[in-house]
Each structure stands twice: as C-alpha cells, then as structure tokens.
A = this chain, B = another copy of it.
Amino acid sequence: MDGEGLPDWRHLTKLDPDRENSEEVVEAVCTSGTDCVVLGGTKGVTEDKASELYRRVSEYPVDVAVEPSDPSTVVDRGDPLLVPTVLNAGSPAWIVGMHKEWVRLTEVPWHRTYAEGYVVLNGESDVGQVTDARTDLTAEDVAAYAEVADRYLGLPVVYVEYSGTYGDPLVVEAAADAVDDARVFYGGGVDGFTRAREVASHADAVVVGNVVYEEGIDSYLDTVEGVLDAASPP
C-alpha cells in the first residue's frame, strides 16, 4: 500500500458517532475549513449511529473519511477508509487479527483503503485501554515504530496518538524525522491555536476531536487557523 490517492489533508476533524453531535456542531465543523471529517470512535459506535452521522455530514461539501474501530462498524459509502493498525498494541488482534477477519467478512475496497500505523501513547485513553497499548515508549521507540511502519510495512500513514492529552512535540518531530514516504498524523489534546500550530510544524496532519465537544466551536475553529498558520511562510 503506497498511499496513492490519499488526499493531502492537513487538518482533520474526528466526529464520534457515539457522542451528541448537535446541528450547530455538525454545521460548524463541516464549514470550518477542515480538510476532512473523519467518522470514528473507539467505544459504543454502532452502524446505526455511524450511518446517521454520515448522512448529516455528507450534506456538506467537505471530504469525509471513515475510520472503523472494528470490522462490525465499517460504514462504507464510497469514501476513503482509514484503517488503523495499533503497532504497540498488547494483542495481535489490533495489529493484524481483526483485519484478517474483516477481509473474510467483506470485499475490501483496497483502492480507497489506507492503513494507519498507530502508536498509542496515552494508556489511560479509550484506545489505550481497549488495545492494551504498551505506552512506556521513548521518542526513539516511537521513531523506530514510525520507521518500521514506513519502510518495513510500507504504510502510508503513521499516526502518533495521544488521545485525550497533549503530546510531546519532540516525539512528533522524532517520528516525522524517521519516515521517508509515510505521512505523520498527530492526534491528542489540540485545544486551540497554539497547540495546533505547534504540532502542525512537525506533523503532516493534525487530527482534532475532543475540542469540538469539550472546548466549544470557537476553540475548534482556532485549531483550523493554527494549522493554516503553521503552513504559512513566517
């Protein structure tokens, strides 16, 4: 998998079908200037909830991608599928096991499926708990996982995931320095302009999510500005 066709997104917004997504939130996100709305969550996502949110988001002219958390919740309407493999998971199921089951269940649209090599760094987060992630990693460890994902596995995306907390920008930088072709996505604790700009200076793309629900729309819109600002010439 070489990532051919993966759009050059810089700011992504993850909406969780299991949370309350008011009309105000959906409209603000879909018209914010974010490059892509990603539908995905770790817990409690049902196909009904995902389909309903998909329907609402797809009324707007913004890229949509689906990131299933397990094979039973893949809502496939023809958009890119971002499929995680958790490189530091405690169990093979989250690395390749569920993927094998998924392939058995369905005809996978490989031409628009993109593998994301996650390194999960907040063990207290839902994704950290569910995948039993081994999070006691140095920047060198994270860089080594990034290199394995990029050069050994050939994954198009390395995803540095601090879900729920803001990470160490030096870790993100180490991951970015370690890859050749893969894009580095960063997620976790981006709650406004400053952090968005900081992490966007190292990562290829910044993923925000909780800020929409927890900090409000103004803070969310600031993250879009922060990423744009990182890309501007000084």
Chain A residues proximal to chain B, CB less than 8 Å: 1-2, 83, 85, 87-92, 95-96, 99-101, 103-104, 108, 110, 113, 115, 140-141, 144-145, 147-148, 151-155
* Copies of this chain present: 2
Nearest-CB residue, chain B, relative to A151: B110
Q: In whole angstroms, what is the CA distance A90 to B91 when docked?
A: 8
Known: A1-B154, A95-B95. 8 other contacts (CB 8 A): A1-B152, A2-B154, A85-B152, A88-B92, A99-B148, A108-B152, A110-B151, A153-B154
CB-CB under 8 A for A140 and B95, given A115-B152, A154-B1, A154-B153: no
Contact A144 B101 (CB under 8 A): yes
Chain B minimum-CB-distance residue to A83: B152
Q: How far is the CA of A104 from the CA of B174 in the complex (A)?
A: 13
